[in-house]
Amino acid sequence: MAAATVTGGAAPAPRTLPELLDWRTSLHPDQVAVEVHGVATLTFAQWSAGANAVAAALRQRGLGHGDRVGLLFGARDWTRFAVAYCGVLRAGGVAVPLSDRLAAGQLGYALTHCAASAVVHGDATPAPPVPPGVPTWTANDLLAGPGSALAPAGPRPGDLAQILYTSGTTDRPKGVAASHANLTVGAPTHPRRLALAHSRRFLHAFAIGTNAGQTMLVNALTAKAAALTLPRFTPARFARLVEAPGTGTVFVVPSIAVELLDSGALGGRDTSGVQLVGSTAAPLAPAVAARLAEAFPQATVVNYYTSTEAAPAQTTMIYDPSRRDAVGRPVGGQLMVADADGNPLPAGTTGDVWLRSRHPRAYYRDEAANRATFRDGWVRMGDVGRMDADGYLYLTDRHQDVIKTGAFKVSTIEVEAALHEHPLVAEAAVVGVPHPVLGSAVAAAVVPRPPAGPAGLSLPVLRGFLADRLADHQLPARLLLLDRLPRNEGGKVLKRQLTDLFDN
């Protein structure tokens, strides 16, 4: 495939994550790398020593090269998770990060699918139900062992490093496999080129087991700033840390951004120390981006567009009112809009969105899905979009979310963006529901903004508000008012569940 846009520059030699940890430990042994506010801190020296101990314990317990290890940790255990993760990799194993909020069936499916050899969980996490014959240990079990004088053989850049299970918003979760080379693409090779150098700490509240969470873990290895997170997200706690000295970078997903802004927790707080606000995991509505820019007047607001399958390739978009609907240009890879056969399309033409990275990922043990999604290093994103003449990407919708109503195709992203402009709408999601004549009708699920509640929102009111913003065929025909939208751990709306709610 020919690329529409290519980022230049020679790539540094790939490295492994244990090598990155060794490098940072040699540079900054006493610097805090990861902090769970009010719970625990982890310096690079502690991280490296702990990873060595975990690796030795796993090798003593029979872990072989390439064996998969499930890692089940909650938000309070980010420091123990970081140690266990790098310990598995140092032992030559493959880390399988999993959320502690998974249902027993979801956990069992992931562990069975990847044929996990063992499970390591946090001390604050109860012993999980696992498939028969799979041993489980706490991180402290492994750290308390006698260790070994024999250093395990380290991994190579091309070796498999991790498997992340997708959210399963449209189908059964798939395991996305990434090599060490994939995870270390773009990692600095000089101390003066560490990322996020404007910050002492970067703040996030992402869940373990998500691609956004794993990005934060890698950031802790490659950034000058330390990773700071919470044992449990609340807007008030998050806002206090936003204002804390040294917090120069804040990462959110759109749902966290909306909750933080609507809560009023930022009111009266000094946010001038924050120089970067990054949003990922789902499209950031232009109205929400504008509110973030107002709440953080000294910060650059950036929207990152990628997927678990495509990372680290992504597009980045600095908030620009003149390009309010764009999701940016490519960073760390290549971008293409193509026809159904994978042929690049000219600027302004709508087609399938593809991203490409130098060391691509793949679905684990799913060749049929690989053939449908991956091609020569390119990843079909599952989105429809177009590029303008300057190389900026504009998303139309997810393939499966486009609503075919009568003779028209409706973009749910466009309708959602318009709904977010209503002053009483906190969150909005749009789906197609069956219609006896049109085939499908546009249906909107809305969370009213407090304290107004649902009293000021009705279908006629919203249709009247949207009449100057959308065409007639884009206007919602049905409205559902909810206390919250159903979301997965990564913050994405579970639209299948919404469709079911309209059917009830």
pLDDT in tens, 458-469: 999 999 999 989
What sign has the CA pseudo-torsion 490, 492, 493, 495?
negative
| Contact between 409 and 368 (Cβ < 8 Å) | no
The pLDDT value given to residue 270: 95
Q: What is the pLDDT of residues 66-78, one digit of tens each?
A: 999 999 999 999 9
Which range marks the domain in which residue 474 is found?
Answer: 402-503
Task: Decide if 39 is inside a domain.
Answer: yes
Q: Angle at Cα 227 formed by Cα 52 and Cα 224, nearest 5°?
A: 90
Domain edge (last residue) among 387, 416, 447: 387
**Looking at the structure, do residues 297 and 438 belong to the same domain, yes or no?**
no
Task: Decide if 393 is inside a domain.
Answer: no
Structure-block tokens of residue 221: 């290895």
**Looking at the structure, do residues 332 and 471 belong to the same domain, yes or no?**
no
**Looking at the structure, do residues 452 and 331 belong to the same domain, yes or no?**
no
The pLDDT value given to residue 334: 92
With a cut of 80, say whether residue 368 has pLDDT above it: yes
With a cut of 80, say whether residue 7 has pLDDT above it: no
| CATH classification at residue 183 | 3.40.50.12780
Q: How far is CA 469 from CA 136, 457, 462, 472, in A?
A: 55, 17, 11, 10
Structure-block tokens of residue 412: 């749910």
pLDDT-derived band at 2, boundaries 50, 70, 90: very low
| Contact between 21 and 354 (Cβ < 8 Å) | no
Domain edge (last residue) among 387, 410, 426: 387
The pLDDT value given to residue 78: 97
**Looking at the structure, do residues 96 and 65 belong to the same domain, yes or no?**
yes
Task: Decide if 232 is inside a domain.
Answer: yes
Domains of the chain: total: 2
The pTM of this model reads 0.86
CA 82 remoteness from chain centre: 17
Residue in the block written with tokens 């043990």: 365
Structure-block tokens of residue 171: 């189908």
Q: What is the pLDDT of residues 297-347, one digit of tens each?
A: 999 999 999 999 999 999 999 999 999 899 999 987 799 999 998 899 999
What integer is the mean pLDDT of 253-272? 93
The 8-class DSSP code of residue 443 comes to E
Is residue 81 within a helix (H) or strand (E), and if so which, with residue range? helix 78-90
**Looking at the structure, do residues 77 and 128 belong to the same domain, yes or no?**
yes
**Looking at the structure, do residues 43 and 180 belong to the same domain, yes or no?**
yes
Between strands 32-36 and 40-43, the pairing is antiparallel
**Looking at the structure, do residues 484 and 361 belong to the same domain, yes or no?**
no
The pLDDT value given to residue 490: 73
The pLDDT value given to residue 173: 84
Q: What is the pLDDT of residues 125-174, one digit of tens each?
A: 777 889 999 999 999 999 987 666 555 568 999 999 999 998 655 557 89
Task: Decide if 211 is inside a domain.
Answer: yes
pLDDT-derived band at 395, boundaries 50, 70, 90: very high
**Looking at the structure, do residues 376 and 471 belong to the same domain, yes or no?**
no
Task: Decide if 394 is inside a domain.
Answer: no
Task: Decide if 116 is inside a domain.
Answer: yes
Domain edge (last residue) among 340, 355, 387: 387
**Looking at the structure, do residues 212 and 266 belong to the same domain, yes or no?**
yes
Q: What is the pLDDT of residues 404-462, one digit of tens each?
A: 887 777 888 889 999 999 999 999 999 998 888 888 889 999 999 876 555 678 999 99
What integer is the mean pLDDT of 188-217? 94
CA–CA dist 444, 486 (Å, integer): 13
**Looking at the structure, do residues 332 and 373 belong to the same domain, yes or no?**
yes
Task: Decide if 139 is inside a domain.
Answer: yes
**Looking at the structure, do residues 297 and 425 belong to the same domain, yes or no?**
no
| CATH classification at residue 430 | 3.30.300.30
Three-state DSSP class for residue 340: coil
**Looking at the structure, do residues 210 and 323 belong to the same domain, yes or no?**
yes
CA–CA dist 105, 112 (Å, integer): 10
